[in-house]
Every structure is written in C-alpha cells, then in structure tokens.
Amino acid sequence: MEVTQVTPMKDLNPLFGNEAFMGHEQVVFCNDEETGLKAIIGIHSTTLGPALGGTRMWKYNNEMEALRDVLRLSRGMTFKASISGLNLGGGKAVIIGDASKDKTDDLMRRFGKFVDTLGGNYITAEDVGINTHDMEMVKSQTDHVTGIPESMGGSGDPSPVTAYGVYMGMKASAMYKWGTDKLEGKVVAVQGIGHVGENLVKHLTEEGAKVYINDINEDRLQTVSKEFGAEIIYGDGIYDLDMDIYAPCALGATVNDVTLQRLKCAIISGAANNQLADEQIHGKAVMEKGIIYAPDFLINAGGLINVYSELHGYNRDEALRKTENIYDTTLQILKKSETEGVTTHQAALSIAQKRVADHK
C-alpha cells in the first residue's frame, strides 16, 4: 500500500503562517554572495512613524530561528516606541553569522545598501554583536541609520542611556514593592554584562547594592568584577541565587517554565528584549509567584529615546530627562496591573496598542 506523506500546514507556511508574524507589514530578505551577507529586516509597523530598531548579528542555529527572532524583536519595537510616546514605528534586523568571525566592513556596507533601498521606511541602529564602527560603515551607504559615532554628529552608543532607563524602571519597581526606591543593600543579579549590563552594574554599585554578575565571557567577568567589586556567579547558578532583583541583560526568553521553578527574586527588571518566553503564560506565572515584572519593552527604551533624539538634532540632556520618565510610567503600569488584575506585560501592551490603534 502506498503511504502519502502529509506535510503539516505550519511547515508549509513558515512565513505569513509563522506564529511570530503577527501583523507585520513587510519582511525583507537580504542576500549577498560576495560578502556572505544573509540578513532579514522585519518591519512590523510604520503607523506612528518610520520603523526604527537595531541590527543584531548572531550565530543562529538555523534560518527559522533567525526569522522568529527578528519578527518578535520588530513587533516589540512598535510597542516600545508607542509606550515611550515616540513617533516611530517598529522594525528590527538580524544578520546571520558570528560577529567575532564573519563580520567585515564590506558586509556591513552591503547591509547599509539594503537598508537604503527601503527609502527610510526602516532606520537601523546597533544591537547585540554590532557596534558604532559598524554603524559608520552602514552610514557610508545610507542616511537611514542612527547610533553613529559622536565624532560624526551622532549620539554614539545608546547603551548607557538604555542602562539608565533600566535603572529607573528597577527603582520604580522597588518603590512599588518595598515602599522605597533605595537599592542600597539589595541583592541584584545582572545576567549579561555587555554594553548595557556593565553600565547598569555601575549605577547599582554606586548606590550600594550587592551586585552579582553572570556572563559567558570570562574576560568580561574578571574585568567588570575588578572594576566595580561585583561578585561573579557562574552558569545557570544565577537562577538559584537568593536575590532581591534578577536583571536579565543578555538574551531573551530567560523567564520560562524551567527558570520560574528556581527564581526566588521579588523583582525582574532588566534590559534584554522578550524576557518572557511566552508573554501570556509566563507573564501570568510571574504574577502568580508574586514577582514584580517590569515590562522589558517599557524599561529598556532609553536607547531608543536616545537615537530618536539623534533624528531631531541630538540633545543628550533631553534624552536623559525623557528616559527618566520611565520611572513614572513603570509605577503607572504596575498600579494598572494590580487594579485591573492583568499581568504587567498586558497592562503595558494595552496602552501601547491603543496609541497605535488611535493613530490609525
């Protein structure tokens, strides 16, 4: 008897049918054999303005993983811009490859050319694996780029401003939980001490918090530990630490079924995008455990606020002042979550979605 293999529908529709596609306007696949560039640009929404979001270079295990990442990230950018009151849409790009081995100036320039073909619908900036020098290469091919070096009239690395916003969100969460926003003596574990994480460690140690640091890069652990007197915690031991605040500042989805069995913190507040592996399931699980979760797309918006300012004649003081508003917005969201009995993620998302819908 002949057996017909039936391919599941989801495998036949990996693009528009991708669970992360949710409302995307445009997805662009960029391929250049000469430089080896393989990139995907996701434009989730241009309702509030041009889609602005960084470019990430990462060694994905496969193309579907890269696609899912860019789609989830670009959607997050729409809501990040919206809740921050910026007239920007949401977009993001990923370059598939190992930033430490595969990245060349030619590859970045070629990427810049692709960005240029979108005529300003998408504006790029730095993200994981990409630095201001790379943005300089992109800038040589297109004007639709932010986060370029200060020497070229740009706003430079947005990470310190992102870290400041995360710090504001963390203090607001502390105020909500403990009735004081003083972090002195609080135990904070920072996972990922890269551009943002290191700056966050600086704010925290300056205030007298007891800071633990965690990273996969041993050199960084030694350097940051030495500079700020932070204690190192290796591997996934971070999830078992007796801590007040868990600050995910590496990659997303670290708040999931496995880690939630172990996390004993009172607050989750960090820079990483898409911290909840599943927004609904883990948003609810966090709430049920009595943990205050400061929505990532709200508190990590400082960098976006900073590059937005670059588009309108950069003013660092004003960017920092606007970033400080993250404190009040976080408090407002935490209260809304409690009064309406919804997760903090949902409370923030509904405000962001409403602003986009009203604009439409």
Based on CB atoms, which residue is closest to ligand NAD, 193 or 263? 193
The single residue among 55, 82, 142, 162 that binds ligand NAD, judged by CB under 6 A, is 162
DSSP 50: S
Q: Give the C-alpha separation, 128 to 1, whole Å.
A: 53
* Contact status: 216 vs ligand NAD (CB under 6 A): yes
Check residue 271 for interaction with ligand NAD (CB under 6 A). yes
Specify the residue, 149 or 194, whose C-beta has the smaller distance to ligand NAD. 194
Per rule CB under 6 A, is residue 295 in the interface with ligand NAD? Answer: no
Q: Which residues pair with residue 245 across a beta bridge?
A: 188, 267
- Binding ligand NAD (rule: CB under 6 A), the pick from 41, 94, 128, 201 is 128
Instruction: Provide, rounded to whole angstroms, the least separation between the CB of residue 130 and ligand NAD.
Output: 9
Of 34 and 78, the one with the shorter C-beta distance to ligand NAD is 78
In angstroms, the CA 335 to CA 292 distance is 11
Q: What are phi and psi of 187, to 5 degrees?
A: -95, 120
Query: Applying CB under 6 A, does 298 fall inside the site for ligand NAD?
Result: no
DSSP 20: T
Give yes or no: 92 in active site: yes
Question: CB of 251: closest distance to ligand NAD in angstroms?
Answer: 5
Q: Which stretch binds ligand NAD (CB under 6 A): 89-97, 215-223, 308-316, 332-340?
A: 215-223
Among 71, 83, 193, 255, binds ligand NAD (CB under 6 A): 193
Is 214 a binding residue for ligand NAD by CB under 6 A? The answer is: yes
Exactly one of 82, 121, 173, 300 binds ligand NAD (CB under 6 A); which one? Answer: 300
Between 91 and 303, name the residue whose CB sits nearer to ligand NAD.
303
Spot the catalytic one: 38, 92, 103, 186: 92
From 18-26, 115-123, 182-190, 195-203, give the range in contact with ligand NAD by CB under 6 A: 195-203
Rounded CA gap, 86 and 84, in Å?
6
Looking at beta carbons only, is 285 or 326 nearer to ligand NAD? 326
Q: Which member of 272, 286, 298, 319 binds ligand NAD (CB under 6 A)? A: 272
**Cβ distance to ligand NAD smaller for residue 136 or 208:** 136
For residue 214, the minimal CB distance to ligand NAD (Å) is 5
Q: Indicate whether 194 belongs to the interface with ligand NAD (CB under 6 A).
A: yes
Q: Which stretch binds ligand NAD (CB under 6 A): 9-17, 255-263, 270-278, 340-348?
A: 270-278
Nearest C-alpha neighbor of 345 from the set 45, 85, 79 = 79
Query: Counting contacts by CB under 6 A, is residue 92 touching ligand NAD?
Result: no
Nearest CB to ligand NAD, comparing residues 135 and 272: 272
Backbone angles phi, psi at 107, to 5 degrees: -60, -40
Closest CA to 49 of 152, 192, 146, 187: 146
Q: Under the criterion CB under 6 A, does residue 91 sit at the interface with ligand NAD?
A: no
Residues 21-50 that bind ligand NAD (CB under 6 A): none
303 binds ligand NAD (CB under 6 A): yes
CB 307 within 8 Å of CB 278: no
The DSSP output letter for 239 is G
Q: Residues with catalytic annotation?
A: 92
Contacting residues toward ligand NAD, per CB under 6 A: 127-128, 158-159, 162, 191-197, 214-217, 220, 249-251, 271-273, 300, 303
